[in-house]
Amino acid sequence: MASTVSAVPAAPADPNALAPEVWPQGAARDAEGRLVVGGVDAVALAEQFGTPLYVVDEAVVRERAERFREAFDAAARRIGSQATVYYAGKAFLSTAIVRWVTEAGLGVDVCTGGELAVALAAGADPSRLGFHGNNKSVGEIARAVDAGVGALIIDSEIEIERVAEAAARAGRVQRVRLRVNSGVHASTHEFLATAHEDQKFGVPLSRAVELGARIREHDSLEFLGLHCHIGSQIFDAAGFAESAERLIAVHAELDRVAPVPELNLGGGFGIAYTEADRPAPIERIADGIADAVAAACEAHGVRVPRLAFEPGRSIVGPAGVTLYTVGTVKPVPTDDGWRHYVSVDGGMSDNVRTALYGAAYTVRLASRRSDAPAALVRVAGKHCESGDIVVDADWLPHDVGPGDLVAVAATGAYCWSLASNYNHVPRPPVVAVRDGQARVIVRGETEADLLARDAGIDASDGIEGTPA
Ligand code: LLP
C-alpha cells in the first residue's frame, strides 16, 4: 500500500499551498483564500449541503477517463492491437459516474449484483460490462447472463459449470475470461514475483491451459482470454510487464489450440495522495506494458491480442475531496513534543482507508487562508474509537480552530464505496461540481433512513415495546 503513515511529511513552506499533483486539476484558492473545486467554493458547498461532504469534480473524472482510454489505445495501436478500458466500479459507483465514464468510451467492471444494478440503471450497454467476483452467487450469475453482460470473469474451477449452465438455460453463448493468479503482486514501488500467490482470487497460472480447455468444451461459453489483477496503487509498468510476460506464455499455449482474442491485465494504477507519491504518467505505463506484451508475443510466436484494463482509483480518486468542519482542537503531549488533534464531523465512517490500510492523506484549510505558522496535526473523526483517524500526519496553519472547514484530497476512490454507518452516523451526500455548479449525485442519509431499517420500530407508535 502506498502512502502509508510511517513517514511524517516535512513541514511545507506554505501550509495553504495546494500541490497540483494531489488536488483535483484546477483546484485553487479564491481572493478570500477559500478552496475552489470545479468552480465552486468550499464555503458555499458546506453552506448548501452541510459537512461532511464528498465533492467530486465531474470534469476531472471525464478527462481522466478519456486520457486513460486514449493512453491505452495509443499504446496498443503502436503494437498492432487495440485496447478496451473498463472503469472498475468498486472504486465509486453511482449512475452519474457510470454515465461520465461510458460517455468517455469506457466499459464498466462490476463485481456484485448491486454494482450490476447501478450500471444497468444508468443505462450502460450491458455488452460493455464485465462481471467479476470470487464468489458470485448462482443468482448473480443468472442475472448477469440474462442482462447480456459482455463478459463474466470466471474466478474458480467451480464457476465454469455454473456459468455454462446459466448460459445454456438462457439460451445464450456467454463470453468469459479466466482470472489467473500470475504470482506477481505489486504495490507502489516494487513488485513481488513468486511461483504462487497466496490469495483468494483466480486460478493458478499452472492450471490455466487445462481450465481454458474445459471452458471451450461448453457450447454455451466463448473463451475470450486470460485476466489478472496484480494489486493496487502501482506507480510504474514493471509489475504489469512481468505479469503480462507470464500470462502470454500460457496465452500462447491456448492460442495454438484456437485463437485467444484478448488479454486483460486488470487495474491498480496509482495516484498521489500526498506529495511523496510519484506515479508515472499513465502514457508511460501504458507504453511500458505494450512493449512487454509485444516482446513476449514475439518470443512465443503469437499474435498480439486485444488488451483490456480496469482502472478504478486512478479515474475517480484524484477528482474527489472531502469537506469537514472542525469541532475541537486539542494539543496532546507526545514523546517528541506536541501533536494537535483536529477533530472533524466525519471520520472512519466516510473514509476508512487510514484506519484499514494505514493510508496517508493530505489536508488543507478550505474556508480561508492563514499566515499562521504550520503545526503538525492529526485529523481525527468523531467515532468512538481511537483508530478513527482521517489524516495521520500533515500540517495545518497553527490557528486552525472550531468552525474552520478543512478539505482532504484524493478521496474520490474507495471512500464513499467503503463507507459505513458506524455509530449510526448517516453517510454524507456526494456532490458533483462542474463549471461553477454543484448538484447532488448521491443523496446523503438521514437518521430517518437509518431508523427506517430498524425492524423494532412500529411506524404507527414508535419504538416496539416502548410504552406510548
Ligand atoms: N480489477 C479488479 C479485478 C480488481 O480487483 C480491482 C480492485 C480493480 C480492477 C481496480 O483497482 P484500482 O485501479 O482501483 O486500484 N479498497 C482498496 C482497494 C481494493 C482494490 C480491489 N480491487 C483501497 O482502498 O485501497
**Rounded distance from Cα 27 to ligand 1 centre (Å):** 26
Q: Measured on CA atoms in the order 298, 300, 303, 306, is the torsion positive or negative?
A: negative
Residue with cell string 511461483: 195
Q: Which of residues 52 and 192 earns the better pLDDT score?
A: 52
Statement: residue 461 has pLDDT above 70: no
Indicate which atom in ligand 1 lies nearest the CA of residue 227: 3
Residue identifier of the C-alpha nearest atom 5 of ligand 1: 229
Q: What is the pLDDT of residues 225-255, one digit of tens each?
A: 999 999 999 999 999 999 999 999 999 999 9
pLDDT in tens, 16-30: 999 999 999 999 999
**CB contact set of 441 (below 8 Å; sequence gap of 6+):** 56, 94, 95, 96, 97, 430, 431, 432
3-class SS letters over the chain? CCCECCCCCCCCCCCCCCCCCCCCCCCEECCCCCEEECCEEHHHHHHHHCCCEEEEEHHHHHHHHHHHHHHHHHHHHHCCCCEEEEEEHHHCCCHHHHHHHHHCCCEEEECCHHHHHHHHHCCCCHHHEEECCCCCCHHHHHHHHHHCCCEEEECCHHHHHHHHHHHHHHCCCEEEEEEEECCEEEEECEEEECCCCCCCCCEEHHHHHHHHHHHHCCCCEEEEEEECCCEEEECCCHHHHHHHHHHHHHHHHHHHHCCCCEEECCCCECCCCCCCCCCCCHHHHHHHHHHHHHHHHHHHCCCCCEEEECCCHHHHHHHEEEEEEEEEEEEEEECCEEEEEEEECCCCCCCCHHHHHCECCCEEECCCCCCCCEEEEEEECCCCCCCCEEEEEEEEECCCCCCCEEEEECCCCCCHHHCCCHHHCCCCCEEEEECCEEEEEECCCCHHHHHHCCCCEECCCEECCCCC
Residue-level pLDDT at 189: 78
Q: Which residues contact residue 320 at a Cβ distance below 8 angstroms, ignoring those fewer than 6 apart?
A: 24, 54, 55, 56, 57, 92, 410, 411, 412, 413, 415
pLDDT for 6 beyond 90: no
pLDDT digits (tens, 9 = 90+) for 381-414: 999 999 999 999 999 999 999 999 999 999 999 9
Q: How confident is the model at residue 155 (pLDDT cuts 50, 70, 90)?
A: very high
What does the pLDDT read at residue 463? Answer: 56
Query: Quick check: CB of 88 below 6 Å from ligand 1?
Result: yes
**Residue 384 bears catalytic tag:** yes
Q: What's the gap in Å between 169 CA and the centre of ligand 1?
A: 32
Q: How far, in Å, from the CA of 444 to the mean position of ligand 1?
A: 25
Instruction: List, for residues 432-454, the tens digit of each pLDDT value.
Output: 999 999 999 999 999 999 999 99
Q: Is any atom of ligand 1 closer than 6 Å to the C-beta of 268?
A: yes
Q: What separation in Å is there between the alpha carbon of 336 and the centre of ligand 1?
A: 37
Cell of 429: 451526500
Residue identifier of the C-alpha nearest atom 16 of ligand 1: 414
Q: How far apart are CA 248 and CA 304, in angstroms?
A: 9
Q: What percentage of the chain reaches a pLDDT higher than 70? A: 97
Domains of the chain (ranges; CATH) run 28-57+317-448 (2.40.37.10), 81-311 (3.20.20.10)
> Is residue 123 within 8 Å of residue 147, measured between CB atoms?
no
Q: Is 364 in the pocket of ligand 1 (CB under 6 A)?
A: no
**What was the pLDDT predicted at 459?**
63
Name, in order, each residue with C-beta under 8 angstroms of 224's C-beta and a sequence gap of 6 or more: 151, 175, 176, 177, 260, 261, 262
* Ligand 1 contact via 369 beta carbon (within 6 Å): no
Residue 179 has phi, psi (to 5 degrees) of -80, 125
Between these two residues, 380 and 10, which has the higher pLDDT value?
Answer: 380
Question: Separation of 399 CA from ligand 1 center, angstroms?
Answer: 38
Which pLDDT tens digit goes with each residue over 171-186?
999 999 999 999 999 9
pLDDT for residue 2: 44
Cα–Cα distance for residue pair 378/394, rounded to 1 Å: 7
Output the residue whose Cα is nearest ligand 1's atom 20.
Answer: 232
**Catalytic one of 111, 228, 297, 384:** 384
Contacting residues for 159 by C-beta, under 8 A, at least 6 apart:
136, 141
Task: Detail the residues annotated as belonging to a binding site for pyridoxal 5'-phosphate.
Answer: 268, 310-313, 414
Q: Is 229 in the pocket of ligand 1 (CB under 6 A)?
A: yes
- Say whether pLDDT at 467 is over 70: no
- Give the atom of ligand 1 at the shortest distance from the alpha carbon of 270: 15
Is residue 188 over pLDDT 80?
yes
User: What digits encode the pLDDT tens for the residues 196-211?
Assistant: 888 899 999 999 999 9
Give the predicted TM-score (pTM) of the model: 0.96
Q: What is the pLDDT of residue 338?
A: 85
Name the residue with the closest Cα to ligand 1, atom 17.
Answer: 414
**How far apart (Å, rounded) are the C-alpha atoms in residues 389 and 325?**
15
Does 179 contact ligand 1 (Cβ within 6 A)? Answer: no
- Sorted by sequence, the CB contacts under 8 Å of residue 70 that are 6+ apart come out as none
How do residues 71-94 score in pLDDT, each as one tens digit? Answer: 999 999 999 999 999 999 999 999
Closest CA to 395 of 1, 109, 19, 88: 19
The overall average pLDDT reported for the chain is 95
Is 60 exceeded by the pLDDT of residue 466?
Answer: no
